[in-house]
Each structure stands twice: as C-alpha cells, then as structure tokens.
Structure 1
Amino acid sequence: MASLIRTAGTRLSQELQSRQSPPDPPERQIAPAPKVGDRAPQSSPDIAFPTSKPVIIVFLRHCGDAFAEKTFNKLTAFSVKHPSIKCIAVSHSSQSATDKWVIDVGGEWEVEVLVDPERNLYAQWGLGLGSTWQVMGPSQVINAYRLGTDEGIWGQVVEGDESGNKWQMGGAFAVDCSGAVRWVHIGGNASDIPDFEEGRKALEDAKKVDHERNGLA
C-alpha cells in the first residue's frame, strides 16, 4: 500500500509540474500542417524524400502519456504486419526517457524511433501545443480512465521533467516514395488515436491512381 501511495504521489507531482510548462515562445514558428497532395517537409536527414518505401510518420504526444502508449503499440503492430511501409515514430521526450519508455511499452519492433527534444520536427509538420480543452477536457479524462480500465494502459512513470511538454499535440502522416503527402491525421484532442490502416489505404489508392495516369498495369 505504501508503495502504491508513493507511486501515486510521484505521478501527481509530475502531472502538476508538467501542467506548469510555459507556452511556446513567440519566436517559435509552427508551420502550416501539410495537406494531402502537398510535398512533405524536408525537415531532417532522418526524414528525407524520395524514399525506397512509402512512410508513415507518427508524432507522439509525450512518453508517459497513455494515449501515446496506445498509439505506439498500434504502430508497432502495424509495422510488423506491413513491412513494405517504413514506420517512424517521433518523440520529444529526452533520449534516455524515450529509450526506457520504448522498452517499457513493449519495444519498437519494426518502427524507427527518432527523438526531437526541441520539437523542431513537430513545428515543421504543423504540430503545436493543445488547448486546455484538448488536453485536459472532461472527455479526455473519461477516455483516459476507459483506456486504463478496458486495456490496462495507464501510462508509464517518467522521472522528473524528462517526458517533455504534455501540452504538445500529436499527429500522423502517410507519405509516398516521391515525397507526396497522401494521408493526414492531426489529433483534435489528446485521446485522438490515428487509424494506420487508413494511411495504408490512402497510399495504395494514390499508387493506383498514379499507375492509371501513367498507363501502367
């Protein structure tokens, strides 16, 4: 019982500390999010196009977040099922926190995990901070409770402020081999988890259209 109380106290302390995170400074520029048909941002050597495989790239909210854990678990399962698609997950938690968190939630499987503590990649892909309603609204509290009771996902304990900014919103994109964005899912709230099969279908549909346009079988 004492151990449970200490764990609960640690989590509460971390939650209170994270809620005090200051807003992004005015000089931090959040680019418009790419739309379907746009060219993907050439934002990093790790995320550069064209590629040999289509890519699904997922920006996680933060390590320790139950919804991020659910999203990452779905992505790892997807990565094993669809090896023809390169799967990338981006974390803005610290490198050490991310490394530990990935192990704690079951491993990366076929997912490439990138760490972006300055959140530059997030900004370049149009992902900024959420509002109080998006992050802490009643529906988010209820959804978090249901995720815990129904699936046993309550989030992981991350030491200190290593988990990053809990106001950061997540998102997911599917990009074809040429670098064209074919699917966009920007979370409307913290509990909005993307359906990666939608991304896969969008990539396949775009490939069929391109083949028909070019007269290929």
Structure 2
Amino acid sequence: MNRLFHVPLSPFCRKVRLSLAEKKIEVELVEERYWEKGPEFLRRNPAGKVPILKMAGKTLTESAAICEYIEDMHPTPALMPADPEGRYEVRRLVTWFDDKFHQEVTSKLLYERVNKKVMGQGYPDSTAVKAGAKAIKYHLDYMGWLLDLRRWLAGDQMTLADFAAAAHLSSLDYISDVDWTRNENVREWYAKIKSRPAFRSILADHVSGFPPPAHYADLDF
C-alpha cells in the first residue's frame, strides 16, 4: 500500500493528494506532527518537511518533485501538457503558488491562524494576518485575469497548476479566508475543481479545534 505522511491543511500535501486521487492511486494517509522532528520522521526526510510519499518501494519528498514523479509513472489522465511551452507554463504557475502565493498569503493567514496554535507557538501576528488578507486580493485578481484568457489556469486543460492553486485556496477556505465574491471567474473555476471526485477527501478533512465553515464542503457554495 502506498503511504503519504501529511498534514491535512498543508497545501503541499493537498497538491500531492489531489494528483494521486485524480489518477485513482490508492494511498494510506498518515498524519505527521512534523514540527516535533522525531527521529523516525527525520530518517524519512532529513529536511524535516511533509509531504513524504512511500510508493513502489521508494521514499519520495518535495511536493513538486513527487507530483512530477507520479505524472511520469502514471501519465493518464495527464496533468502536464505534452508540449514544452505548456509544461513550462504549468511549472511556472506551480512555483507561483508554492512560492510567491505561499510566502505572501498562506504563511500569513493559515500558518498564523492555525499552525501556531496546533504547534503551541503562541498567538497570531496581527500584522502578518493583515498583510496576507491584503495580498490575497492581488492573487485572486491575477487568477481572474488568467481565467479571462484560458479555460483553466495554464491553458485549455486542467493541469497540476490548477491543483497547486486549489490546494492553497482550499486550505484557506477551510478558515474562511477567501472572498469568493471578488472574482466570478475564480469562483466558477473553484466550483468546477472542487466538484471533481479527486476533491472528496480534501472536503472531508476536519482539524481538531478548527471546524470548517458551512460552505466549505458545499459544491454550490
């Protein structure tokens, strides 16, 4: 059995979960308290990060590399375009969300509101939360602009770029930090993607002490 060591609200773990689910690859989910840096965990990944995927006798780390490994090993249904330009655009957007969006938004909203409490690291930094709430508006507008030009974020087909974005936004939606009224294109895109069977386990997540809002698992918002 494949095994994924993860944290439920981690967007990096969610991206891997979505890729596996879209390709109908069964996996056992194991919650990992990575911040405790236990010796067994560090043996799996000395970098001290999740996700960690055990698959086909291998221990795989780093979410982007894991997703591309899954794509190479299980190319159908495709989450990467066949042409170099298309693959570049997907990789660019995956990096955009996992780097820029994460630094400017996810780390300032989700990590401050949830991770600090779960890890026993004190209270949210209000300055960081305000900065994240401001930055997400720019990112939603950028996504709306992309979706004015394309059916999906990277082109006419759903790709790993959509899963990277949805992984971050779904984590933030769990704590009601996404204004879905800001851009109709983004709202329609998210409604499409969260209606996919691959999203079911994501929408079933529950974090102790942090109940999701009523709309979180509602496919019609």
TM-score by length of 1: 0.28
| Higher relative contact order, chain-length normalized (CA < 8 Å, sep 6+) | 1
User: Which protein has the bigger strand share?
Assistant: 1
Higher Cα Rg: structure 1 or 2? 1
